[in-house]
Structure 1
Amino acid sequence: MALGTMLALVLACVAAEGFFSGTEMALISLNRHRLAHRVEKGETAARLVAGQFRVPVSLYATTSIGTNLSMVAATAAVTAYLSGTGFAEDADILAVVAVSPLALLFGEIIPKTFYRRWSEKISYVAIFPLMAAQKVLAPVRLVAVWLARRILAAGGVDATYDVGAVTHDEIKHIFASEKKEMDLHPEEQKIIHRIFGLKHVTVEQCLVPLIHLTAVERKEPLSAVKAKFEESKFSRIPVFSERIFNIVGVINAIDVLRYGDDAKIAADLARPAYYVYKNQKVEDLMPQMQRAGVHVAVVVNEYSDAIGIVSMEDLLEEIFGEIQDEYDREQEAPQTGQTDPGKWAADGTVEIDFLNEKYNLGLPKGDYETLAGYILTSIDRIPRKGEVVTIGDFRFVIRDATERGIRSVEMTRSVAGKNG
């Protein structure tokens, strides 16, 4: 074989290898959202590209066969040339040594880098010669695909892909890379970030605790149920059996109006409770509640005891921020605020870390998270409404409390760090 012929064949084979490896990289680097959009617009090239992803194993079989055949052909050409020279005895080894660096550099590294960088422009052009190669390689490709699918199926792996199913990570990548072009308002960006974070938020983090609930015992008379609705102004009230931790249902105010004449006790009007575990993720619970057609769910712990309830509004607040609903009690003062120098008013559920960070109070940390938890842990009992409690450098006046816990507190720092 002449030297010129050998060089031409090697260059052609390396170029072919670069085409197959680079095209594969370009296709898998494509933005799936844009691809789906172009398919919807009816673009032929986009439709052909999408077809490759519906059976990706066929794409990988084509590119793998193409790169390997190119490498083998280039090596064979060099071997044939060396066989007619004084290096015939070591032609095979020398051919591999000569071709490998070329194939690695110009058949893999450079094409993959280049094709990935320009994947949007290259993919919709390269798809046509790629499909032509698929037809030429069909006999070998079909056998490889058949074997690969059997092996993947045995391992429980689906060999198909829905190009329209954009994944969570792909959406996040699109937002991160294109948010400047989107010209989003800061609040809109916050909402998007909250949506991405839903997979980390549990139901326990957004429930309404039992201490904040108005509930009725299942055997209470209808008159007591009506009184609870009138007093609380809620549209739904949980129903428990014997103890508050055993919530068995929920009464809707509309049911009291519709069926009140036929009911004698709370249990007659209660709809079955919809239970969810406290560690369930919010992103899973929202569609689950929508499918079940429920507005309120009872949250239980590992002992099957109720620890609170969660409504659809509570879940939506994890995305859109605070939404005023029926379980958000009207307050004369903010949840927390400084009323006078050295004096603060706070809800019992305000976190210790928040108070320390905002007002530099220096409240100690412990096996509690909230201000109410700090007071309860310190005195080891539930104080009465109006009671005054002194802990360390602070004097706490219990503004509102129930038999189950503290709702709101007024606290004063003692002068010069002395107990008040």
Structure 2
Amino acid sequence: MSDPHPARPHKAGDKQHPPTGVHRGLFERLVDLLSPGPDSRDELMRALASAEQRELIEPESRIMLEGVLRMADLTAGDVMVAARRMDLLDIDAPYEELLAGVISTGHSRFPVYEGQRDNIIGILLAKDLLKLQRAPELNLRTLLRPTVFVPESKRLNELLRDFRSNRNHLAIVIDEFGTVAGLVTIEDVLEEIVGEIEDEFDEKDGESGIYTLADGTHRVAGDTEISAVNEAFGTTLDDEDFDTIGGLVAHEFGRVPRRGEVVELGGLRFVVMLTRGGAVRWFRVSHSGDHDGATSA
């Protein structure tokens, strides 16, 4: 008996049914691409969250994509190290003093000033300072790199593009009056996308988030329990209403503080070193009245 619906060869222009089996996933993705996309940032954020739930993208990828979107709303002033917290080098300082400053802070680049701190005349790479040791007759001014100045209102996405095109890693931020407001590095910008970039100094041993620094102050993780802080410093900070020192300090500010901001609580002075993800990551802590070392940029 013949087939009532015999198969016929495929002709150009024939409409085909959607592929099945192993090709189904590809077809669905094509449909998604051709479908109307999100028409607002909030919808795009929800689309990314949905893509993560459907395991189309990894959680880390969603976080980075959201960071890219948020970065367009941030400015250099939002992530800069405040001027009063900047580690600077004096062009007229002796070599030994310059070397001590480089070693104590551990930065790779330093703004150099002449006379007043607002008078930034160039950027010194720490590795270039070694040239003075081998050739003391060199003039430090000849080792300085040009300073890049950006306004506080500079968008981070634009700043990142400038960093990449100009091969600069540090810029001095100025306010509307032309006064130095702070500095921003390429790491500050990238961390808004990929999260905190930790180095060997950021490792925690899993038992304590309190570290003694070379100048006698302490670096304290924001998620350190208040009871541990009280035990380490001999204080009586409130550990009934708050669990972590970061929560207590944020409550005192009434918001998440920015890097470089300072508050004194219970006989301790807290300098915010780093904030990430809506919380303080690191504090520099000293007893009130003690000399407070400069915060790392």
Q: Give the letter aligned to residue 73 of structure 2.
A: H
Alpha-carbon shift at residue 291 of structure 1 (Å): 0.8
Identity rate of aligned residues, in percent? 19
Q: 1:369 to 1:323 in 2, by over 3 A?
A: closer
Q: Which amino acid aligns with 1:227?
A: A
Q: Is the 8 A contact 1:249 1:273 kept in 2?
A: yes
CA deviations 1:8-42 (Å, max 9, x no partner) are xxxxxxxxxxxxxxxxxxxxxxxxxx9xx99xxxx
Report SS of the residue matched to 1:272.
coil
Residues 1:397 and 2:286 are matched in the alignment: no
Contact 2:81 2:182 in 1 (8 A): yes
- Mapping 1:208-247, distance limit 5 Å: 208-247=81-120
Partner of 2:161: 287
1:195-206 maps to which residues of 2 (within 5 A)? 195-206=68-79
Q: Within 2, Cα distance between the matches of 1:327 and 1:210?
A: 23
Q: Which moved more, 1:187-196 or 1:328-337?
A: 328-337
Are 1:207 and 2:80 an aligned pair? yes
Letter in 1 for 2:252: L
Give the alignment partner of residue 198 of structure 2, picking from 305, 308, 324: 324
Residue in 2 that maps onto 1:252: 125
Residue by residue over 1:152-185, the C-alpha shift from the partner in whole angstroms, topping out at 9 and shown as x without a partner, is xxxxxxxxxxxxxxx997x948747755555323
CA RMSD, 1 decimal: 4.6
Match of 2:252 among 363, 368, 373: 363
Aligned residues: 222
Q: Deviations over 1:345-387 (max 9, x none)?
A: 89xxxxxxx9899349853659x87895444xxxxxxxxxxxx
Distance 1:357 1:194, change over 3 A: same
The correspondence of residues 259-298 of structure 1 with structure 2, limited to 5 A, is 261=135, 266-298=140-172
Please identify which structure carries the higher helix content.
1
- Once residues 232 and 255 of structure 1 are traced to their aligned partners in structure 2, the CA distance between those partners, rounded to angstroms, is 16
Structure with the largest fraction of strand: 2
Confirm or deny: 8 A CA contact 1:217 1:239 kept in the other structure.
yes
Greater Rg by CA? 1
Distance 2:32 2:284 in 1: 60
Whole-angstrom CA distance in 2 between matches of 1:193 and 1:183: 15
8 Å Cα contact 2:152-2:175 kept in structure 1: yes
Instruction: Go from structure 1 to structure 2 and tell me whether the alpha carbon gap of 1:225 and 1:119 turns closer, same or farther (over 3 Å shift).
Output: closer
- How far 1:235 moved relative to its partner? 1.9
Consecutive unaligned residues in structure 1, runs of 5 or more: 1-33, 39-116, 122-166, 347-353, 376-393, 412-420
How far apart are residue 322 of structure 1 and its match?
0.6
SS at match of 1:248: strand
The answer (yes or no) to whether the contact 1:259–1:269 under 8 Å persists in 2 is no
Contact 2:261 2:271 in 1 (8 A): no
SS of 1:276's partner is strand
What 5-or-longer segments of structure 2 have no aligned partner?
1-25, 205-209, 212-219, 234-242, 273-282, 289-297
1: CA distance, partners of 2:271 / 2:187: 25
Normalized against structure 2, the TM-score is what? 0.58
Q: Secondary structure at the match of 1:363?
A: helix
Label 1:202 to 1:120 Cα distance change in 2 as closer, same or farther (>3 A): closer
The offset of 1:214, in angstroms, is 2.5
Query: Within 1, Cα distance between the matches of 2:32 and 2:269?
Result: 66
Distance 1:175 1:233 in 2: 38
C-alpha displacement of 1:298: 1.1
Higher relative contact order (CA 8 A, sep 6+): 2
| AA partner of residue 340 (structure 1) | S
